[in-house]
Amino acid sequence: MQIRQLEISQNFSRLPQTLLFSLRNHLEIWATVIVILAAATFMLSRGTGFSITLVTVFAIWAMLAVSLNLVLGYTGLLSVGHVGFYGIGAYTAAVLTANPRQELLEGEIIQIFAWPFFAALPVAVLLCGVVALIVGVAFSRFRDDVYVLVSFGFAIIAYNVFVNWQWVTRGPFGIHQIPKPVIFGYTINDDLEFLLLTLAFLAIIVGISWLIVTSSFGRVLKAVREDEDAIEVFGYRSSRYKLAIWVISAMMAGLAGAMLATYTSFVDPNSFILLESILLVAIVILGGLASIWGSLLGALAFVLLEEGVRFVPFLPPEHVGQVRQIILGTLLVLLMLFRPQGVAGRFKL
């Protein structure tokens, strides 16, 4: 009897160690459970309307994260320029669909197209592809830290175009009254319907990404990530593969941008600053490099953090933004120290 009690007390005393061990070895499972439970609790406590908003915002970030992971995780190209394509997608959709006639400033002339969303969407996606192709021809010669620098340059240029190309983008005023999508004469005004549409696009992006990473094309991307010179010896032109995945990824980001534009019905350059790109890189790294599931998890955790911090008691609203960034930064540092491949990742940065 005494021995049994001793065993139990020993087991209890080892509990923290056992838990820590389990947490380290099964971080992916633990993180998945914790994030999903947190999301569920949060949504239940805040009600349906809030839940729909949360999941819609998640879906847009998830599209971005999954698309960036193709470039950053699978191919090993650390790009901080993704926000540029997100912005190009958003602005193209905004410019082509908006009808801001009433709110134009005196003397301001901008072209008004007032296209339906589903006509503008393919243009937004294709334009991102074309811009990515032009930029990528130069970029695909680079790798490693130089890639970070040139992609940084792209993000800065894109932002400056959004701010200064005023007769198209209306500069800092932004573009308002971006209409909701219309399918066969039916306007998707309802939040739940819009959420389903966004989730459908997310599913398409996840599906395409999954097909890519499990194909022979994806295998070459992973090989490029590991050893770009070696892959050339076996007859692969690594720059072509880098260019191809860059263009595909940019088009996905463009789609996310277009969805953002119609969702918020307003775009301005502030949504596409470099910090957004850095946050996105953080999501992909936190979730896990070369893991589509990791990117979905990372995006969900990020959106929870974004929204959750607002409801922390005694936290003055003006500090919410800073607290978010401190938490995200701390998480990133901790993960790089103890789990450099991210929660669900296969590769280290």
Partner 1 sequence: MTAQSQPERVEEHADASPLLELSDVSVHYGAVIALDHVSVQIHPGEVVALMGPNGAGKSTILKAVMGMAPVSTGSIRWRNDILDSPTHEIVKRGISMVPQGRRVFTHLNVEENLELGGMHVRDNAERNRRLDAVMDFFPILREKRRDPASAMSGGQQQMLALGRGLMSSPEILLLDEPTLGLAPIIVSEVFQRVTEISRTFGTTIVLVEHNIRGALNIVDRGYILDKARVAFEGTPKEIEDSDILTQVFLGREDDED
Q: Which is nearer to partner 1, 190 or 227 (CB)?
A: 227
Minimum CB separation of residue 222 from partner 1 in Å reads: 6
Structure tokens at 308: 């959750």
Choose among 118, 260, 255: nearest CA to 175: 260
Give the C-alpha separation, 332 to 339, whole Å: 10
Q: Which is nearer to partner 1, 46 or 346 (CB)?
A: 346
Q: Which is nearer to partner 1, 136 or 174 (CB)?
A: 136
Minimum CB separation of residue 241 from partner 1 in Å reads: 11
Q: Is 346 in the site for partner 1 (CB under 8 A)?
A: yes
Inter-residue contact 198 to 263 (CB < 8 Å): yes
Instruction: Return the residues of window 215-254 that contact partner 1 according to CB under 8 A.
Output: 216, 219-220, 222-223, 225-227, 229-238
Q: Is 347 in the site for partner 1 (CB under 8 A)?
A: yes
Inter-residue contact 86 to 260 (CB < 8 Å): yes
CB-CB neighbours of 123 under 10 Å: 18
Sign of CA dihedral 175, 176, 177, 181: positive
Helix (H) or strand (E) holding 149: helix 144-164
Binding to partner 1 by CB under 8 A, coded x per residue (else -) over 8-47, reads: ----------------------------------------
Give the C-alpha separation, 277 to 294, whole Å: 18
- Residue 344 CB partners (closer than 8 Å, separation 6+): 28, 31, 32, 287, 288, 291, 293, 294, 297
Q: Which is nearer to partner 1, 90 or 290 (CB)?
A: 290
# binding residues, partner 1 (CB under 8 A): 20
Minimum CB separation of residue 237 from partner 1 in Å reads: 5
Minimum CB separation of residue 249 from partner 1 in Å reads: 20
Minimum CB separation of residue 23 from partner 1 in Å reads: 24
At 342 the three-state DSSP class reads: coil
Q: Which is nearer to partner 1, 137 or 200 (CB)?
A: 137
Minimum CB separation of residue 346 from partner 1 in Å reads: 6
Q: Which is nearer to partner 1, 182 or 223 (CB)?
A: 223
Which window, 11-19, 104-112, 212-220, 269-277, contacts partner 1 (CB under 8 A)? 212-220
Output the DSSP codes for 93-117.
Answer: HHHHH---GGGPPTT---------H
**Contacting positions for partner 1 (CB under 8 A):** 216, 219-220, 222-223, 225-227, 229-238, 346-347
